[in-house]
Chains A and B, each alone.
Chain A
Amino acid sequence: MRNIFKRLTANEYRSKGDTGNPEKHPLIGAGDFQAGREKTPAVEVKAVSHCYGAGENRRQVLFDNHLTIHPGEVVTMTGPSGSGKTTLLTLIGTLRSLQEGSITVYGRATKGLSAAEAVKIRRKIGFIFQTHNLFDSLTAYENVKLATTLADWSGREVHGAVVDILAAVGLAERCSYKPGKLSVGQRQRVAIARALINRPKLILADEPTAALDKDSGGLIVEILREMANAENCAVLIVTHDNRVLQVADRIVHLVDGQISSMPNMDRCLLQAVVE
């Protein structure tokens, strides 16, 4: 069942790319989606299980999960609290070491990585955390600029890029503010700008819009969607937010530690059926 579903998803994905929808996603071009059909998936999760604790306290929270995300795809993950969404996200992001099963990120296996290797993979990933975790002593501009030291930016490009991305998240006028003087939502947007500045090939976001109002939340969602289209990066968002669900290519449902096959409906497929 799951496999059929995956194939359908891929088909739908392709057809969507072919027809395109320039109105909704102005950055989509046919070429982007051609490129998006690279052979290596951005993320491939196979038979992943995970346990916390040891001995008597040992408790399994993930059970035999499979998930494939292709470049250019926006996948949202929903599920009840405590179902293991964050756990799965941290496993994919190499922040937690994998116990059972396999996860590859752009073809790179993440099992048994050394700390240095994990750091290398993480540089290609944009993390958006539930809490913002910006440097209090740095301005919004400096916080974003700090991340650019991880990638090969030439000195001249950096300034423009940082200003642009802050403008893109609607903070053009707040560049010189420190986090203490920004609202929670604004801080979250700075954190998002920081995650996106290096054009990551994979974006992992945990409830990125939870702290935001409707407008700024919507803006974030749009940005993530555009990143996926324009940069052909894969996006995995854990969320309950309807706005996020709307722009997703695919929604996966994690219940009791397992990606459930039934409600794992592809939104587009669903729409197609309805139409």
Chain B
Amino acid sequence: MRLELALKNTFANRTRTLASVCGLTFAILLMFMQLGFLEGVRKGAALLYEYLDFDLAIVSNKYQTMGDSESFDRVHLAQAMCARGVEKGMGLLLSQATWKDPDNTLLSRIIIIGLARSPDFIADPDIKRGFDTIFIPDKIMLDRFSQPVVGNIAIGRRAKINGHWIEVASHFKMGMFFAADTFAVMSRETFLHLTGQPPQDLSVGLLKLKPGADRGAVKKALEKILPDGLQVFTRDELIGKEQDFFISQKPVGFMFETGVAVAFCVGVIFLFQVLSVEISNRINEYATLKAIGFDLSFICGVGLNQAILFALMGYAPSFFIAIGLFRLIYAVSRLPVSMNIHLALLVLADVLSMCAISSVLVLQKVRRADPVELF
């Protein structure tokens, strides 16, 4: 009966209900967007490591993120490759650099990635396809989703990285605009040429294990073998670390988290307002319920049911609008945003807590409904 009454109350005034649902839809959509962005940044942050196939990674203690890494001597990779259970290894070179298009006066920030010729470590089909092209000196593979400031990125285009001429030979997809304007994958040799780093330098050592080897055990063994200045991560750990860096260390995470909080508050306030009006309009009816012996829990139950109804009615359309907007945003910004179960449930949980909070606020109003006024 509680639910029945809530349903009937909610649909008694269709126009008002529609208006309320529209407002809620926007608040919830805002939440979808902000959380979607947050997830997009998180996903995008570790895209490079998603593109690579490996089991364990060795990095320096001072390694922060792919854009801010400290190199170590490649002898330690060789050392690790001799350990039990390790099948092969590949060195990864990372560095920040400048990009200068000849038609453009602006310098843009680029992250360059140097790879050894070990195609086994490549998981991304785009990089796999263009892999051979980068082993021609001074030819690079450039991010198809580069920022406009980077200029013309067509294949065959020549530009300067750190003042040295290079040529775009193929494309891959990165689009991490919050980390750099563009990304380039190149051979180890080109990388060393552009940066002038000593040849023994290495940013990340990637390892593949023999079939059946236990990652945890090998990781422990490597930690013992390698000097104190180095750390060993599994692939998932490295990806998680990379993602957390952007969420917790860079303002970009804070930005979207604030957005989520604001959207949440807007939702609570809106829902509170809607329920408040709803209860005010029926205060005599609720007082009557109290007078004839319904307890507060029944009456609040009706209120809570209405809150949930409103919220779910707002949730459903915003879910579908979000799917559409995510596609649009991906097409425009290349931020890897998309609808997934995790996001859907997260927003649903937020929406339900929105209901709980606004119902508690509205409850005060119901409590004040005084049946004595009815006589």
Instruction: Decide if B147 is an interface residue (CB 8 Å cutoff).
Output: no
**Beta-carbon contact of A122 and B5 below 8 Å:** no
Alpha-carbon gap, A93 to B11, bound state (A): 33
**Beta-carbon contact of A129 and B374 below 8 Å:** yes
Instruction: Decide if B288 is an interface residue (CB 8 Å cutoff).
Output: yes
**Beta-carbon contact of B292 and A95 below 8 Å:** no
**Beta-carbon contact of A136 and B12 below 8 Å:** yes
Of A89, A123, A129, A138, the residue contacting B5 (CB under 8 A) is A138
**Beta-carbon contact of B8 and A150 below 8 Å:** no
Of B9, B287, B372, B374, the residue contacting A137 (CB under 8 A) is B9
B264-300 interface code vs A (CB 8 A; 1 in, 0 out): 0000000000000000001011011111111110000
**Beta-carbon contact of B293 and A131 below 8 Å:** no
In angstroms, how far is the closest chain B Cβ from the Cβ of A205? 10
A107-147 interface code vs B (CB 8 A; 1 in, 0 out): 00000000110011011011101110111111000100111
**Beta-carbon contact of A138 and B292 below 8 Å:** no
Q: Is the interface of A mostly helix, strand, loop or mixed?
A: mixed
In angstroms, how far is the closest chain B Cβ from the Cβ of A99? 14
Q: Is the interface of B mostly helix, strand, loop or mixed?
A: helix
**Beta-carbon contact of B285 and A135 below 8 Å:** yes
Alpha-carbon gap, A70 to B284, bound state (A): 31
Instruction: Decide if B345 is an interface residue (CB 8 Å cutoff).
Output: no
Kindly list chain A residues whose C-beta atoms are within 8 Å of the C-beta of B290.
119
Near A by CB (< 8 A), chain B positions 308-350 give none
**Beta-carbon contact of A119 and B295 below 8 Å:** yes
Kindly list chain B residues whose C-beta atoms are within 8 Å of the C-beta of A123.
292-293
Instruction: Decide if A86 is an interface residue (CB 8 Å cutoff).
Output: yes
Q: Known A135-B5, A135-B282, A136-B12; judge A90-B375 contact (CB<8 A).
A: yes
Q: Known A122-B291, A133-B288, A142-B8; judge A96-B282 contact (CB<8 A).
A: no
Q: How many residues of B contact A (CB 8 A)?
A: 24
**Beta-carbon contact of B293 and A119 below 8 Å:** yes
Chain A, interface size category, equals 20 to 34
Instruction: Decide if B151 is an interface residue (CB 8 Å cutoff).
Output: no
Alpha-carbon gap, A2 to B9, bound state (A): 50
**Beta-carbon contact of B375 and A206 below 8 Å:** yes
Kindly list chain A residues whose C-beta atoms are within 8 Å of the C-beta of B4.
142
Instruction: Decide if A195 is an interface residue (CB 8 Å cutoff).
Output: yes
Kindly list chain A residues whose C-beta atoms are within 8 Å of the C-beta of B5.
135, 137-138, 146
Kindly list chain B residues whose C-beta atoms are within 8 Å of the C-beta of A129.
288, 291, 374-375
Of B282, B284, B371, the residue contacting A95 (CB under 8 A) is B371
Kindly list chain A residues whose C-beta atoms are within 8 Å of the C-beta of B289.
146
**Beta-carbon contact of B285 and A195 below 8 Å:** no
In angstroms, how far is the closest chain A Cβ from the Cβ of B268? 25
Kindly list chain A residues whose C-beta atoms are within 8 Å of the C-beta of B285.
133-136
Alpha-carbon gap, A142 to B292, bound state (A): 15
Instruction: Decide if A225 is an interface residue (CB 8 Å cutoff).
Output: no
**Beta-carbon contact of A133 and B12 below 8 Å:** no
In angstroms, how far is the closest chain A Cβ from the Cβ of B215? 59
**Beta-carbon contact of A95 and B291 below 8 Å:** yes
**Beta-carbon contact of B375 and A130 below 8 Å:** yes
Kindly list chain B residues whose C-beta atoms are within 8 Å of the C-beta of A15.
none
Alpha-carbon gap, A93 to B295, bound state (A): 15
**Beta-carbon contact of B8 and A86 below 8 Å:** no
Alpha-carbon gap, A149 to B292, bound state (A): 11
Alpha-carbon gap, A138 to B2, bound state (A): 12
Instruction: Decide if A250 is an interface residue (CB 8 Å cutoff).
Output: no
List, sorted by A's number, 11 A–B pairs whose CB atoms are closer than 8 Å.
Answer: A95-B372, A95-B375, A122-B292, A123-B293, A129-B375, A131-B284, A131-B374, A133-B374, A137-B5, A146-B289, A194-B292
Listed from nearest, the 5 A-B pairs whose CB atoms lie closest are A123-B293, A137-B12, A133-B288, A137-B8, A122-B293
Taking A137-B8, A142-B4 as given, write out 4 further A-B residue pairs in contact, using a Cβ cutoff of 8 Å, ordered by the A residue number: A95-B291, A116-B295, A123-B293, A135-B285
Q: Which residues of A contact B (CB under 8 A)?
A: 86, 89-90, 93, 95-96, 115-116, 119-120, 122-123, 125-127, 129-131, 133-138, 142, 145-147, 149-150, 194-195, 206
